[in-house]
Chain A
Amino acid sequence: MAIGEPAVSVRGLSKHFRVRRGVPVESVMGSSHWLTQLVIRTRSPEQRFTALDGVSFDIAPGEFFGLLGPNGAGKTTLLKCLATLLRPDGGTAVVNGHDVCASPDLVRLSVTMIGSGQWVAFDWGLSVRENLQFFADLYGLPPKSAHGRIEEALEVVGLSGLIDATPQTLSSGERQRLVLAKGFLLRTPVFFMDEPAANLDPRGTADILHYIRHDLARLEGVTVIYTSHRLEEVEELCDRVAILDRGRLVALDTPRRLVRLVTDVEHLEVDFTGTAAGVLERVAALPGVRGLDLASGPVAGSAGTLRIQCESAERSSGDVVTALGGLGLSVTAVRASAPRLGDVFLRLTGRGLHHGV
């Protein structure tokens, strides 16, 4: 990669998936199941949906770049395209100076992909150390340095005491730590991190995020492309944030500049308990409410938090409390709040990151 070139350059990247309604593989028995599949699939109509729609951006070397969007926005598809695990249908993507379609192997040499749920791919018959040894082999780490790297990575993720355990005896949080340890074995120039802190407890999350932000990004200078549903993580960690919605890039800027987009309205947070069927529609219909998102809940009997964009927090708070009371919900707290990235998403797309209207 030449000096001054972006670490990642994406131009008009598109990805479509074709879905044919077939018979689930599990339900077709017999040695000629492939024939059954072939016949059924050729007779069923094809559906097409767009996962990425002409996405373009550049990421500078050493930048901590966030991808934000609800489920299905295209974040993981984008990361997989950049990591060469998926082939884009249109546009170009260049990572570390190599085109992901023309030179996928060269891209693979210089990137590390860390995802949530990757633990399913670990071999459960092998110990933590042996699993990491396998990946050290695949990375091409010489045996002498591999030993030290494995211990170092396990130290970072807090799994040193479980080096001889097998993955099946680990908790889901510990398995995710093992995924992270696998990723930390080598300092490639670019890291793709797809919800890396999923399943971690708050303390573990804080430690890992500190390591990623401070050690990997600041000290080592690696470029990080990071996705998470936790807005506070993205706001705190990322130099710039791209907001994706239904495969389209709807905004790209620093978190500070992005939240300026929603300073023309006031923001209200309302905590409540109870089963909240119809709460979004009811509150959205109140005068002065410009948008809202259900930040958590509702599950029967659980607590939920509504984030409301309104013309006047003072005027709307009373209306909201009355409306929720009318639905049989108990309001436990009402507070004015500062604008957040989720509010930006709501403004730009008309939908909340969680369950907004």
Chain B
Amino acid sequence: MGFEYKRHDAPTFISAALFCLKNAISGWTMFVSSTVIDLLQTFFDATIFFFMAVYVAPGVAEQMAPFGGNYAGYVVLGFLAAGLLDSMMKSFYNAVASGYWGAQFEFYDAFPLGIPAYLTGAAGFNLLIALLRFAIIALVGLTLFGVRVEWGNSPAVLTILVVGLISVIGLGLAAASTFFLLNAKRWSDPVSWVAHILSSLIAGVYFPPDILPSWLQRFAALLPHFHLLRALRLAVMAGAGLGHPVVAHDLAVLGVMALVFVPSGAWLFRLGIHRAERLGQFTRWV
């Protein structure tokens, strides 16, 4: 028999990434009680937000006008979309941290496609879980609180979501790079941390950014969250299509952010991997 070589082609990558995804799902469902609590927590979070919305709504009726006047829908959609972006952003860091503490990262690095396949599988898993949460919260809103959704606008909503998610992949990779570059190994990283605080505060997750001072509003426009939330709300709550000037503007900004952030994040991540290879920090175990 002649020598054989590892392969680094698309089928190998897809097969390995799918295996990682399947593995992450089976790991998540392995401990049934934790999984049930996880899902119940999402249900109760949604319920709390809906109750808050019901009581806060009368005070912010004016600011809600462009979004159809529905504060319950506004805040829950903000909570949902921000959660989706946070999950996507954090998934790469979490994958790196799991790989490091579970001693798998060095294993994967021995294969040209090992780390990309692992990260893709892990990010896919996080996205699936975030979508599941999204579905639970949407179900709570639709069935218990009578939230109205413009179903006919689904293609626009999906486009906004996909572009928005892509725009934060770069930030996610930058977040993951800090695991090695800043030795941020204790399950939290500065990039997601800062992004989460800023987005919660000024990007319009819980209240309209219009009520903020103008200089803060300008700052908010630098966050993908701001543009995604605004475009998504307009599409879901007011039926705005992709041709709506604000939606089109936000989509364009998200697209530019994706073009800038993804290569920058990939470069930083590569820098982190090189640093780990140089310092021998791929694993503390083997």
A interface residues, Cβ below 8 angstroms from B: 17-18, 22, 25-26, 28-35, 37-38, 41, 77, 80, 83-87, 89, 105, 108-111, 113, 115, 117-118, 120-121, 123, 125-126, 133-134, 137-140, 186-189, 220-222
Contacts and interface: CB of A to CB of B under 8 A. Distances in A.
A33 B178 CA distance: 12
Given A85-B109, A86-B280, A140 B285 contact: no
Contacts of B178: 34
Closest 6 CB pairs of A and B: A140-B7, A34-B184, A140-B12, A33-B186, A105-B112, A121-B107
A26 B284 CA distance: 12
Contacts of A84: 109-110, 277
B4 A108 contact: no
A220 B1 contact: yes
Contact of B5 (A109, A123, A126): A109
B286 interface: yes
A133 B103 CA distance: 19
Contacts of A87: 274, 277-278
A37 B3 contact: no
A140 B277 CA distance: 24
B106 A37 contact: no
Contacts of A38: 182-183
Given A17-B279, A108-B111, A121 B190 contact: no
Interface residues of B, number: 49
B264 interface: no
Given A86-B280, A105-B8, A187-B1, A137 B16 contact: yes
B30 interface: yes
Given A34-B178, A108-B6, A140-B7, 10 more contacts: A17-B280, A32-B193, A87-B277, A117-B285, A118-B286, A121-B286, A137-B15, A137-B19, A188-B6, A220-B1
A88 B2 CA distance: 31
Nearest to B106: A85
A121 B102 contact: yes
25 contacts: A17-B279, A31-B193, A32-B193, A33-B186, A34-B188, A37-B184, A41-B183, A83-B110, A85-B106, A86-B278, A105-B8, A108-B110, A108-B111, A108-B112, A109-B6, A110-B6, A111-B110, A125-B26, A138-B108, A138-B117, A139-B12, A140-B6, A140-B7, A187-B1, A220-B1
B3 A138 contact: no
Contact of A121 (B15, B103, B278, B279): B103
B188 A31 contact: yes
B189 interface: yes
B115 to A, nearest CB: 11
A80 B279 CA distance: 12
Nearest to A20: B183
Nearest to A40: B183
A174 to B, nearest CB: 18
A105 B116 CA distance: 13
Contacts of A137: 12, 15-16, 19
Contact of B286 (A28, A105, A117): A117
Contacts of B280: 17, 77, 80, 86
Given A17-B279, A85-B282, A121 B104 contact: yes
A26 B190 CA distance: 17
Given A17-B280, A34-B189, A138 B23 contact: no
Among B5, B8, B182, B184, the one with the most A-chain Cβ atoms within 10 Å of its Cβ is: B5
Contacts of B277: 84-87
Contacts of B6: 108-110, 138-140, 186, 188
Interface string B1-29: 11111111101100110010001001100
B3 A34 contact: no
Nearest to A182: B107
A82 to B, nearest CB: 12
Given A80-B280, A125-B26, A139 B186 contact: no
Contacts of B26: 125-126
A188 B3 contact: yes
Contacts of A220: 1, 3
B97 to A, nearest CB: 10
A115 B184 CA distance: 27
Nearest to B278: A87
Contacts of A35: 190
B193 A110 contact: no
Most buried by B among A28, A31, A117, A221: A31
B15 A29 contact: no
Given A120-B285, A137-B12, A109 B112 contact: yes
Contacts of A80: 280
A139 B190 CA distance: 35
B112 to A, nearest CB: 4
Nearest to B183: A37
A171 to B, nearest CB: 19
Contacts of B2: 187
Nearest to A88: B278
Nearest to A123: B23
Contacts of B4: 186-188
B205 interface: no
Residue among A28, A41, A120 having the largest count of chain B Cβ atoms under 10 Å: A120
Contacts of B107: 118, 121
Given A121-B102, A121-B103, A126-B23, A22 B183 contact: yes
